Structures are given as C-alpha cells and as structure tokens.
Structure 1
C-alpha cells in the first residue's frame, strides 16, 4: 500500500512565533526514555513519584512518529504526527495534563538533522523516490543528484544485485525486497525487472557500496538515517510545525536539540527556532572539546551537559595514580602507539581510517565540490588543482581538527590553524602540489568570497568534520585507548582525564556567568557507562598497584584472553559494574571490540575472534577469576561510595539545570546502549521505600533547589570555598548565593592512606548552617571537615539565619 502523501507546507501559523510568553527555565529535569514498552501512559503513571523527587520538568526522548518498534525515537519518519506506539497526540496531552496537575512541565527532544531512510514509513521520502528531483519533497533531503547518474543509491541488498534478483518482486506499483518496499516510477510497473530497476529514480544496491558510493548525507556513517535540509525555510516549517504547535498550546515547555553539528548552519537554525518558539528554554547537544566555548551568539540556554560531565568526573580522578595506571596498561595490553598506546596517535590513526573507510563517500562528495569550485572559479590561484591533491589536502586538514567543526570563517581560522596546514603540506612530495592545502584553507577562511559555491564548500567541510570527529573519537578511539574506561565518555579527554579543583571551580564560575541555565548531566541514554560505574572505575586511579596485583592473579598469559586490550577492558568493566548478568557484560564487550575495529567490526565480523571474546568473558571476568575482582571492589566500597555520592551531589548543586537520567536518583549501574535504555520500574507511590543513600542525597538536593530557587537560578552566584589544613585538597566545596553549601570528599582512598583529615577545616560563609542530609546538625564559622563528613562523605548545608555582625 502506498503511504499517504505528506503535506509539503503546513499551515502558515506553524512557523509563526508562539504567542505564549517564554516559560521559565527548569530547576531540574528528569529524562524518560520512551519506547513501545514504556509509552506515555507508563510515564504518566510515574508522575506522582517523579514529582515527589523535586524535579520541575520531565525530559522526554523524541515523541514524533518513528520507525515501528524503535527503542529510541531518533529515526523519525513523520514530523506531523505524535508517535502512535507511544499513545499518539492524545496520549502526550494526557501525560502533559497529569504532569501539570503535579506541578511538572515537559521538555521534548527534537531531531532536526535526519530522518529514517525507510521509504515504506517515511512518506516524504517515498514521494521523492517515486518522482525524483522534481518532487516537491526533494528539497527536504540532502541528496547529491549530480552523482550516481541522478539516482538515489539505496544500500539495502544483501549481495550484489545480480545475486538477489530472485528476491526482488513487483507488487502493483511497489517494488519489494524482503521487508523493504519502494515506489515504482509511473509507467514502469510492467517492464522486465532489469529494465524496471534501471528506470527508477533510485538504485537498490549491495549494502557494502554505502561506504564509497552513497549520494545522500546521512547521520555519521549510519546509512539508515538520511540528512534533512532544515536550512530551507519551507522544510523547517514542515518538520517543526507540530512541535511548535504543541509549544504554542502549552502541551510542552522546552526543547532539547539533537546533534545540531550535522546541520548546514546551526547558528541560523537556532535563531529561526528561537523566534518560532518564542524563546522557550532550549539546550543543544553540542559536544565541546577541552577549552572550546559554545558560540556566544547562539540563542540557547546552553548545552545538554557533556562538558559538565567531564568536569565532574575529572574531579574524582587522581592524576598521579592515573599515570601509574597508564604505565601498567601499556605493559599489560602492549598496544601499538597508534592503536591504543598513545591518545593523540590513536585519534589521528582512527581519523585517517574513518575518512578512507566509513566516510569515504562523504570525502568524495567534498572533493567533488572543491574541484568544481576550483575548476570554475575566476580566481587564477584556484585553477589547475587535481582532485587527488584536493582530496589529500582535505584529508590532512580534517584529521587535524581538534573540535567537531567550524561555524564561521572566524571559527575556521581558529580550528584550521597555520600549524595544522604546515603539517598537512608534509603529505605532499612536490611542494607545488602542497599548494592545495593553502587553497582549501583559504576557501575555509572566506578569502575567495561568499558565493554559493564557496558557502557550499564550507558547509560540506563542516558537516564532514562533525561526522569524522564523532566516528573517529567517540566510536573508535574511545574503544582502542582504554587505560581508564571511565574517561572514554562523550565530551571526555582520555589523554587528560583528571580535573583539578581549581579547574572545576573556574569552569563552574564561567557557566554561572555565561550560561546559568545550561543543561548538566552525568548519565544519559548515550553515555557508555553510567555515572555510578564511572565513579567506581575512577577509584582505580587511587590504587593502581592494587589493580596491577589483582590482574596478575586473574589474568595469567595463555588463559583464553583474545588480546590484551580487550582483556583489560573486560576486567575493568566487571570492576565498574559489580556483580552482573554475564550476558550484559558479554554484549557490551562484543560491542566494544566491534567499535574498536582492530580484530572485528560491525561490517567485517570475525566469528572466531568474537567467539573467543565470549568464552573469555564467561570463563574469566564473569567466572571464578572475576570473584577476585569483585572482592577488590567490595574492599574499596567506601571509596566507591564517596565518588558516587560526590558525583551526584556536585551534579545536583553546581551551576546549570541538572538532568537526571531515568533511575539514576538511586544506584544505577549500566553499560553502553542498549543496556542503558532498559525500561525502569517506577514505584506506584510517591516514594521508594528504603531507596538507599544515593536516593536520599538526590532527594535532599532537589528539595533544596525547590525550596531555595534563588540560590540556583540565573541570578545566583557561585563561590569556591577552599579548605585549610593538611588534607585541604581532598575537600571540594562551594557556596551558592550565600544560602547553600556543597562539600564533597575527593580522592578518599588517598586521604585515608595519608592519615585522614587531621584537623582540616572549612570556613563557611557567615551565618548558621543546617545539614540537609543529617537533620539536627548545625555548623558555624570554621567547621572541622571531619565533623562535616562524620556520617557521609558529602555534606549539603542550608543557611538557617542571617549573618551575624
């Protein structure tokens, strides 16, 4: 059955600025991962409990129509409808009503960059494949019609087309291949199959051709997600009309924007969204490299919070101990420098590999744009540049980018530096050919104008850079360089995982000044390990010698480990996770080695190697030897506890709007997706009985945010509170607006080995301070840190009177 034709343009009111006033920023959000097994109705049932936690808004994963059965919702197929499997628009409205009855608002995740490449579900795409580039919907999708003979390459066949012709069949005006369905161009249904295939606006091909032949922009290297051209005003209106209407009607209150770096012009998109939404609270999933700043001109509240995650995690990493752990890792795993032995070399090697393999088609398209621009330019300096030289220059500059992408020509000057250009020129044997590097760099810097071709080149370069950074760092290097698994997290810097207290305070002061209502996170649907797993792993940096001794006992040579790096990652995984179902660990490790791509991969799986990994996990980390690792984790329990509670309290009280991922208000031990996307069983009442110490800390901090909103909002202040005494470095404390004080224990194992607090004090701001975690305790003046942490390794204080003279 042919899908319904989508409306090419929604009603004019859909893109008009909302009349409702911009709602205030949330005080705290709670992320729910919606899926068919956890629809709107289930979310509504959890509202009384979630409201009792003290959050102000629920944060929903994408709610628009997605591929049936999707567990995440980022594979949108229809922007005009709320997802039926979740309960449709009425279900969303019912959830909104229930939330508001309990004082909660809704923030919704939106996906502007891509849609599902599933013609039988994606009605707009169906029409493009049927009608070709003249379709009114062709402008929706980022398709290079000049490539592949003007036909869209569809990498869906299990083998070369000649080997699967028998599996292709015509069904009326539809071409079918197993579960796939494609529209037939008018008047072609009666043609013999080979001629019928040649007559379409698309070309079904062997899936392996996606690597080099694809002619549509996709999400990273995922061919099942096609890029959307929201830079076109009509496409923006059509893809945002429903969300904007729900904002206007008060059903939802704020937005989280998924992956803006894939867009042609993120700044212009966000400006249009800001106007259309009436300035609603909006955060963007922008991954900031160390030292990178969010563009100040973007009209958003800030990021989704991975920059905060890195700074919070880093507080609990011992820099000296990490160095020892790194040395042991290199001895144990014996990685080659560019395959996991050195961070910078690993990233560079991965970037070269990704450009020539996973992103070969994106590199080809960028090279074609560059060559066309040079060949047709009136500028003599651009002429006579061979495609191979331009390709080489592009490759050498792309692999040297240390951020996701430039946004303007000024950004390009900062990220495509002369130093990078000088290194790139060394790839050429003939100096004259190296001039291609200068041509590419000058085009990026806008030195040859802002004509359409120049803008397209800069846009393609930026989009390719974004995909390269994500694939080479997050999806490859993070799985090859594994001395400390907790450091290999989105936004992290495994080459320098530790963050000093001074760095943390500087970061927080800057957030409070520049982006006071930005999002902050420590666990998300995309984190490779939950915050509690990472907090446990960070303890290993305080006892690298003990970890080395345990591995010497359990990881003897020749006992089934497939390779040293996989074994190291497996042992750390079970230490961080604690007792767990072996199946969860096995699946996570198989994903790990496939992402690493050194012995097997998603597209070139090596069954013998993967079977060896599975056997090793079962017999070693999840077998009897794993009990020794479990014993070490139990012995280090008090220090794991200090990290877990410290991470939670810092996250909930630092500048910004904290986002709690589902279930993380109490102990939450999860690995990479899909392990971290399992539905959560929420209690039927408003509280969980005996929920544990972390839940008590979470509730107390959220209650304080509710009770003292002036201490945490955009007009609040942030003041570091240095401790004084021999163990001062182990106490990290700060005050919020002179009304709330947070204090946490840092590197508690090393603290214990050094003799404890030994008279260390913390000078509190003027006034009397009540302990929000242990009722009845009061502090004033110079508090002994040992007293602050007498019951728990963290303290949350609330001022209970005015300052004394």
Structure 2
C-alpha cells in the first residue's frame, strides 16, 4: 500500500476506536458556535463530526501551535494544505462537507468575523486548543504505533519523526537541511537513538545497506522464503507468518544480529518478545486488545526454527553471508552517521550505551541496563593508546570492529575537538564543499568556520560499490583522483584531529581524499590561521 494512504486509514481507525468521544465533544463545541452564523447554522453534528474526522486523519504533523498570539506562517501553510488535501480526497457523494471544511479552516486560522465579541473569540480559541491536543496522540497511535509496523518497505526508515515514504536524500538535500538548521535552530538536539526510537541507530545503518544492493537482497529473500516455507504453520487457512510479517522479521534479524556469540541465546529471546510486540502494534493479524494466540504461538515457533543452531537448519548458513555483509558495511555507515551528528549544526545527543554498537530494538529492549564499567575500561584503554601509538590503535580498531571500540574512539576524538573549538562547532558558519572526481557521490564534505579557525568534515557514503567486503575505504587505491575544491585562500596546512596527523597540500584550492582518508574512514581537519605545523613531518601530495 501507499504510505500516505496507510497513514490516513490508520489515523481514521484510531479516531473511531479510541478518540470517538473526543471527536463528539469537538463537534458539539463547533456546532454551538456555528449555530450563531447564518451561513453555518444548518450544519449538523453528523456533518461537522465527519468533516473533523477527515481533517484529523490526514494531519501530517504532531500538532500546530495556534494560540491567542495568532497563527504562524508555517502553521497557516500547514492548515491550508490539510484542508486542501481533505477537499481533494473526499468522495464526490459527500461534497456537502466542503462547506463544513471551509468553516473548520476559518476556525483553525482564527479568521474571526468583524462583529465577533471577545466571549465568542475565546470559544473559537478554546476549540482550536482542544483540537491541537488530539492531533499529537493521534499521530503517535495511528502512525508511530501502527503504520511503522505495517509499511515495511525498508524498516530503517520507520522511525519517530521520519517520513518512511521518503526513500533516501541527496547530499544536496543534506546540506540544505544543515543550512536551514544553522539559520533557524542552531542549538537544537541532534539525536540518533533515544529511549523511544523504534530500533537502535546501528540497527538502522545496517538495514540501510540493503538499499545499495536491492537485487542481491531480493535474491537472498527468495532463497530464505523457499527454505522456510515448510516451517510455517497454517492458521485459519493462512500460512504463519504472513508475508509482510516475514519480510519485517528478516530485516530485523539482519539489523540486530549480535556481534558477540555469547549474546546469541539472549538475542533469540529478545527477538521472540520483540516480534510479538511488533505484530500486535501492526494490528493486522493480532493485537493488544484481542490477541490471536494461535497466530502468535505459530510465529514464535517459526522464529525458533529460524534461529535454531542445529545442523538440519538450512536457514542460518543461507542467512549469514548477507548478514555479515550488511554488518561489515554497516560499520562505516555507523561511523559516518555518528561523525556527522557530532560535527553538523546542533547539539549532539548520545543516548546511554550508544558509545558502542547500539543493536537494540524498541522499548523495553532499548532500556536494558548498560555496562558502564565496561565502557569506562574501554575508554581508559583508548585514551592510553592515543597517547602512545594512535596509528597502531587505529589499525587495531579497524581489524576488530565487532568490539565497538572504533565507534567509541571516534566519538571521543570528535568530542575532544568540540570542547577545544567550542565556538567553531556551536557558532561557526556552515559551507558545503564541492567534491570532484568519478567518486564524488561517495563523499559528504562541508566546512565550519569561526574567527580564525576552520574545520573541514569529510565522511564516506554508499561503500558497497566502492570496496569489497573486508577492505577498508582508505588511501589512493580506493579514492584515486577524488578531491575537494576549497575556497581560494584556504590553508595548505591542516591537522586531522581524529588521527592526530598533519597534512600539507601543494595547492591551496585542492584537498585530495586519498591523503585525508588514508588511516581512518572519516576526517576532521582543523586549521587555525597562521598555524605552521612544524612539529611533525607533513604529508605532501606530489600528484596533480
């Protein structure tokens, strides 16, 4: 189904099941006021209620913020779009609702009639404030807790505040988002995991890999379905799991599969608990109010078959090659995601435990106790090795990504830079950088500048077509002639604060990726005007 259609249908479902009384009250409020207007006095409770249901079922945001101070430009545009969309989609046989919809629009925009007294104005505002209280819960129950478990095209997109129908963004869109943010919300929170996310940040980055290899993903999917078809029970004439639930399950397993063998038995139990919550939230084959015990027990049995390590289970050997692949490339996706969060406009938020790989699922799974002692030991070890042999440490981290220490190292180094260059990251301007060369679409690059300090941020993307599984996206063999065009007058001398290595280029307007991403997959270059970097041997590029 179309995502927008699913969202509309499920918001209407929630209205009818859980908010019917509240809609009745709103309709009576509206009727009480409309009866005083000649052009609206013949509106019925039924008509007003029907119009309200149509408006609320297509509401695209959690809420507007109309108040006695008035209506903001953004809220005005949102309300006008909602009413226009509602008028377009209502069936021709209920065209009589068009007048009711126009009346509701007038209310929501606080377009008071000239003769209206203060008491009636207060009633208008009361109606609007009451309606705004319900659009948030409606979005939460209708979309967050229903559609995000039904629209399973790529479940990494099914996140709180996301738009699952928006399948990826261009680098240009990313820069546009950051430029808008620095102009209007420079200190807003940048979060990638919270207590309320549908799946951990590193689960999403793994699943995102599937978007780069759709043919391979489809091939594996067909193979798995063939292997697992005999394991399905028949309940009520239908195989369990239903195709949509099975598709959801495979993506979940790819995203959350543990890196540590010792966690496997716990993982199986977590998946069983999670999948029951997911299908109940979907409200298609079972639900919280009326659980289908037969469907649920058959699905649990199916999961146990899939994850059983016995020799006669054909699924795991067929599953692990793709799982290892998305895990491998997911590491680089995760590093880029964490790095861009830490260097883009906004205040980065690191949810507890996500200093290492976050392979958690929705609550209560993402609220399990965190081993802080373990993380403190890891950080102590990382800090010691940074001081003694940072390049040796980086090589070790790249060879053992499963520990998650590589992510902790990156977060630590980036946070150190943010602390040292506070104004640069909190107040510095944002400039997208032009990338040249045949691999330009595989790099995100921008600069931050404040006073005499400049930072250049470089992160790779879409690596499945760039390096083989097991190869690191580093050095000349990978990046060849890929380069960043810098503004004229830029420094020749930079320090990569992630690797602590100095870099010197021959041309002030060119930065070669092969020289920058030669030890670690992302780079944070910083220059302070007049810095000479005489304290260590600079890296000089001799190529044109």
Q: Which TM-score tier does this pair reach, normalised by the shorter chain?
A: 0.7 to 0.9
Contact 1:723/1:763 (CA < 8 Å) preserved in 2?
A: yes
In structure 1, the partner of 2:348 is 658
**Would you say 1:436 and 2:100 are equivalent positions?**
yes
* C-alpha distance in structure 2 between counterparts of 1:786 and 1:359, whole Å: 58
Superposed counterparts of 1:394-793, under 5 Å: 394-408=52-66, 409=71, 411-412=75-76, 414-417=78-81, 418-423=83-88, 426-427=90-91, 429=93, 431-432=95-96, 434-448=98-112, 451-556=121-226, 557-560=229-232, 561-579=240-258, 580=264, 581-620=267-306, 624=313, 625-683=315-373, 687-689=379-381, 692-714=405-427, 716-737=428-449, 738-752=453-467, 756-764=478-486, 765-780=490-505, 781=508, 782-793=510-521
State the distance in 1 between where 2:7 and 2:173 align: 24
RMSD across aligned C-alpha pairs, in angstroms?
2.4
Uncovered stretches (5+) of structure 2, i.e. residues with no partner: 233-239, 259-263, 383-403, 533-544
Pair 1:367-2:27 in alignment: yes
User: Normalized per residue, which structure has more helix?
Assistant: 2
Distance in 2, matches of 1:617 and 1:460, equals 45
Q: Residues 700-758 of structure 1: CA distance to partner in whole angstroms, max 9, x if unpaired?
A: 000000111121113x1111122110101111011111522211111011233899433
In the alignment, does 2:527 pair up with 1:799? yes
- Check the 8 A contact 2:207/2:326 in 1, yes or no: no
Give how far 1:361 is off: 2.6
Distance in 1 between residues matched to 2:148 and 2:433, nearest whole Å: 35
Deviations 1:395-425 (A, max 9, x none): 111122222222224524532435224236x
Q: Is the 8 A contact 2:210 2:326 kept in 1?
A: no
Superposition deviation, residue 574 in structure 1: 0.8
> What SS does structure 2 have at the residue aligned with 1:798?
strand
Q: Cα gap change, 1:559/1:756 in structure 2, threshold over 3 Å: closer, same or farther? A: farther
Shift of 1:777: 4.3
Partner of 2:42: 384
Deviations 1:23-80 (A, max 9, x none): xxxxxxxxxxxxxxxxxxxxxxxxxxxxxxxxxxxxxxxxxxxxxxxxxxxxxxxxxx
- Counterparts of 1:622 and 1:367 in 2: how far apart (Å)? 55
Q: Deviations over 1:764-802 (max 9, x none)?
A: 542411222223342434232133223332112222652
Contact 1:574–1:629, Cα closer than 8 Å, also in 2: no
Q: Which moved more, 1:637-646 or 1:722-731?
A: 637-646
Q: How many residues align?
A: 460
For residues 433 and 419 of structure 1, the distance between their equivalents in structure 2, rounded to whole angstroms, comes to 13
1:350 equivalent to 2:10? Answer yes
Instruction: Quickly say closer, same or farther: Cα 1:432–1:773, change in 2 above 3 A.
Output: closer
Does the 8 Å CA contact 2:493/2:503 hold for their aligned counterparts?
A: yes
- Contact persistence 1:396–1:427 (CA under 8 A): no
| Correspondence for 2:395 | none
Q: Map Cα deviations across residues 573-610 of structure 1 (whole Å, 9 max, x no partner).
A: 11001234111111111111111111111111111111
- Scaled by the length of structure 2, the TM-score of the pair is 0.79
Residues 1:688 and 1:678: Cα distance change in structure 2 (over 3 Å): farther
Segment drifting more, 670-679 vs 746-755: 746-755
Q: How far off its partner does 1:429 sit?
A: 3.1
Matched residue SS, 1:446:
coil
For 2:520 and 2:215, the matched residues in 1 are separated by 27
Deviations 1:300-358 (A, max 9, x none): xxxxxxxxxxxxxxxxxxxxxxxxxxxxxxxxxxxxx2xxxx21111111122111112
Aligned-partner Cα distance in 2 for 1:593–1:695: 34
Secondary structure of 1:778's partner?
A: strand
Separation (CA, whole Å) in 2 of partners of 1:442 and 1:421 = 14
- Give 1:250-399 correspondences, 5 Å limit: 337=1, 342-375=2-35, 377=36, 379-399=37-57
| 1:107-122 pair list within 5 angstroms | none
Contact 1:397–1:416 (8 Å) recurs in 2: no
Alpha-carbon distance in structure 1 between the residues aligned to 2:162 and 2:437: 32
Q: Distance in 2 between matches of 1:654 and 1:636?
A: 26
Give unpaired runs (5+ residues) of structure 1.
1-336
Aligned counterpart, 1:82? none
Q: Cα deviations across residues 119-141 of structure 1 (Å, max 9, x unaligned)?
A: xxxxxxxxxxxxxxxxxxxxxxx
CA pair 724-413 structure 1, distance change in 2 beyond 3 A: closer
2:525 is paired with a residue whose SS is strand
Distance in 1 of aligned mates of 2:434 and 2:302: 47
Deviation at 1:622, TM superposition (A): 6.2
Contact 2:79–2:108 (CA under 8 A) maintained in structure 1: no
SS of equivalent residue, structure 2 residue 491: strand
Confirm or deny: 8 A CA contact 2:432 2:445 kept in the other structure: yes
Change (3 A) 1:629 1:434: same
Question: Whose strand fraction is larger, Structure 1's or Structure 2's?
Answer: 1
Residue 732 of structure 1: SS of its match in structure 2? strand
